[in-house]
Amino acid sequence: MSAPGRRELTTAVLGAVLAGALALSAGGQAWAAVTAERRAPLPPVSADLSGADAAPLVPAAGLVLLAAAVALLAVRGAGRVAVGLLAAVAGGALAWSGIRALTGGLDDAGGDLPGLSGATVSSTTADVSTTWPLLVVLAGLVAAATGAFTVLRGRGWPAMGRRYERTDGAPAAAPARPRTDEDRAVDAWKALDRGEDPTDPRDV
């Protein structure tokens, strides 16, 4: 594998790993504090909304990207282009999930949380922490860039271990071992057993 190809492949793999790790990390955090207003005289109640509950696509996309990082090392040609497209789609899903959370898309997302639903609830509001949705948007941008880079450049990257493969597909022959005096003596005894004269060139 050429040095530029090796560097490009390493960059793509690290980009997919970084984006996937960021998505999984952010998905496990609390994205918002959801408050449910209830009819008087009942007081309001609150609960934390995790990233996985707020945006189920985030952890799913994170797993896809980690799998894509492994696949980039194992496939080549059209297969690697397909992996790049998958990474780009996962990046788009991450970016959309983060932007949705930042633009008010979580106001109704806590309705299924325990204690925040029922006939007594009049409305719910979400106090969103911008840190984790922004991190997901960043992960989406990294994944989309990695996917696009792979689609454009990945077809020419050799697969892992290709430098150890024979181009004709034939197994490499083991080098011949030099013959020793012991080998020649064994051959002479075998010739005698066959009734041949080991000193006769015609029988060699």
pLDDT value for 156 = 82
Q: Would you state the structure tokens that stand for residue 171, as one six-digit string?
A: 């197994």
pLDDT at 123: 64
- Backbone angles phi and psi of 196, in degrees to 5: -105, 155
Q: Is there a cis peptide before residue 171, judged by omega within 30 degrees of 0?
A: no
Residues in contact with 52: Cβ distance below 8 Å, sequence separation at least 6, in sequence order: 27, 28, 58, 59
Mean pLDDT for each consecutive 10-residue tract of the chain (204 residues)? 78 95 93 75 73 89 95 89 95 94 75 56 72 95 96 81 48 61 65 63 54
What are the CA-CA distances from residue 126 to residues 49, 111, 113, 148, 151 (Å)? 9, 10, 12, 35, 39
